[in-house]
Amino acid sequence: MDVSGSKRFGFATTGLMLCALMIGTNIPSPLYGVYEHLWHFSPSVLTLVFSTYALCIIPSLLIFGQLSDALGRKPVMVAGFLIAAVGSLTFVFAKNVTWLFIARALQGLAVGIVSGTATAALTELEPNSNRQRASLVASLATAGGTALGPIFAGLLAQYAPMPLQLPYLLNCVLLLIGLLGLLFISEPLPKDFRKHWEPQRPGVPREILSPFVVGSLVAFAAWTVTALFMSLVPSYVTSLLHVKNLAVAGSVVFLMLGSSSLIQLTLRKLGNRTAQITGLLLLLIGLAGIIASVPMQSLWFLLVSTVIAGAGQGLAFMGSVSLVNHVAPPAQRGSVFSTMYVVVYCGVGLPVIGVGFLAQKLGLFSAVIVFSVLVCLLNLVMIGAILRLKEISK
């Protein structure tokens, strides 16, 4: 295989493996209600189980964020994907809520190890050195895998045997097949670009701090809304709109992130500024529609609002990844992206815990309203920051 062919194989394999990883980590979304009923725990415990994933990603990123800049991308990705497979197997054998915490912690560790590394590897493996295409594939693999996980699990849980085991077993098989392919790719990071590693927080060069902060906070806003969908919206659908089918509950998350992936593919050449501002505005419209669907008792209105929110998430995240990729120095790309994902997973983990505890005090509907108002304020602030930023394409 020539160099170009080797890069194409490595690029495709890395993208597919990142997608498979995200499928596995989002299989639990439509099943949380089943676990809650089976083991009798509260909505606040549910959000803690969900957020354990994100809260384990953050220290993982802080410890391992620079590891691939020293050892190379390939060994770090292999380790991360193996840990992900162990996390899926832990779900298979889960007997109580403690097992769920352990499984989510392992998944968080795996994603923390792989996220920044795989994004950097995609940039280095892209055959034509097209950073925008590499950013698009990283964003699509993340959003696409996150979309496919819930619908995959929801359909199997509703219509197949072993609903709490089969989805995870199939994900393990997918990860192990992908790992075989990963063993044959060339190492993306040349030895000349590697540096000494020691455990420390990933750094962001001072000269790119402003665009990095803007891009990371836009991604934070996008994934905060995504976390709401992955953790509580399936319960929102079943309890407030009285829809009991697990496949339908899982399809809401799929619809949100499926529309995210589709809009990124369709508008992949959109400039950073336009993508981020349009995405943030669409997120506001989508959240307003999701709130309005409850007094209307309309599943269809919620589904349309979900598509709008998904399009907003896709554009905002695509634009933010493209911006950070554009300004990140090659020798520090793994570290910069790991730092960005620390911010992203703070958005995934922390706000939804607050929503879970608010739901116990005020009810789920009121908690979602409070959450939406705070996201609206953040989005408006970020639109102002984007308009003032110079290091950005229109």
CATH number at residue 133: 1.20.1250.20
The number of folded domains in the chain is: 1
Band (pLDDT 50/70/90 cuts) for residue 21 is very high
Residue 324 is assigned to a structural domain of this protein: yes
Q: How many Å apart are CA 285 and CA 72, to the nearest integer?
A: 42
> Does pLDDT of 213 surpass 90?
yes
Band (pLDDT 50/70/90 cuts) for residue 90 is very high
Q: What is the mean pLDDT of residues 70-90?
A: 91
> Does pLDDT of 97 surpass 70?
yes
User: 3-state DSSP call for residue 368?
Assistant: helix
One DSSP character per residue, 239-303 reads: HHS----HHHHHHHHHHHHHHHHHHHHHTTT--HHHHHHHHHHHHHHHHHHHHHHHHHT-HHHHH
């730092």: which residue's tokens? 339
Tell me what percent of the residues of the chain surpass a pLDDT of 90: 31
**Among 90, 148, 49, which residue's Cα sits nearest to residue 349?**
49
Residue 298 makes CB contacts below 8 A (sequence gap 6+) with 241
Residue 329 is assigned to a structural domain of this protein: yes
**Among 109, 337, 113, 354, which residue's Cα sits nearest to residue 224?**
354
Tokens of 78: 């292999």
Residues spanned by the domain of 174: 3-187+202-388
Mean pLDDT score across all residues of the chain = 85
Q: What is the mean pLDDT of residues 28-52?
A: 82
Which pLDDT does position 3 carry in this prediction? 56
**Among 202, 175, 190, which residue's Cα sits nearest to residue 125?**
190
Per the CB < 8 A criterion, the answer to whether 143 and 265 are in contact is no
Residue 197 is assigned to a structural domain of this protein: no
Which pLDDT does position 199 carry in this prediction? 60
Residue 394 is assigned to a structural domain of this protein: no
Which pLDDT does position 190 carry in this prediction? 67
Q: How many Å apart are CA 301 and CA 177, to the nearest integer?
A: 40
Q: Which residue has the higher pLDDT, 246 or 370?
A: 370
Which pLDDT does position 196 carry in this prediction? 65
Q: What is the mean pLDDT of residues 204-220?
A: 92
Q: What is the mean pLDDT of residues 366-371?
A: 90
Sign for the pseudo-dihedral over CA of 220, 275, 375, 364? negative
Q: Distances in Å between the alpha carbon of 96 and those of 31, 35, 269? A: 14, 8, 47
> Does pLDDT of 235 surpass 70?
no
Q: Distances in Å between the alpha carbon of 18 and those of 107, 112, 174, 265, 330? A: 13, 12, 11, 17, 21
Which pLDDT does position 168 carry in this prediction? 95
> Does pLDDT of 324 surpass 70?
yes
Which pLDDT does position 248 carry in this prediction? 74
Residue 393 is assigned to a structural domain of this protein: no
- CA angle centred on 139, ends 66 and 76, rounded to 5°: 30
Residue 194 is assigned to a structural domain of this protein: no
Q: How many Å apart are CA 144 and CA 254, to the nearest integer?
A: 9
Band (pLDDT 50/70/90 cuts) for residue 275 is very high
Tokens of 259: 């529309």
Q: How many Å apart are CA 98 and CA 16, to the nearest integer?
A: 31
> Does pLDDT of 246 surpass 80?
no
Q: Which residue has the higher pLDDT, 238 or 219?
A: 219
Which pLDDT does position 187 carry in this prediction? 81
pTM for this model (two decimals): 0.75
Per the CB < 8 A criterion, the answer to whether 171 and 20 are in contact is yes
Residue 196 is assigned to a structural domain of this protein: no
Tokens of 92: 């298979």
CA atoms within 13 A on the CB side of 224: 27
């394409």: which residue's tokens? 393
| Size of the chain in residues | 394
> Does pLDDT of 135 surpass 90?
no
Residue 192 is assigned to a structural domain of this protein: no
Q: How many Å apart are CA 214 and CA 229, to the nearest integer?
A: 23
Band (pLDDT 50/70/90 cuts) for residue 189 is confident
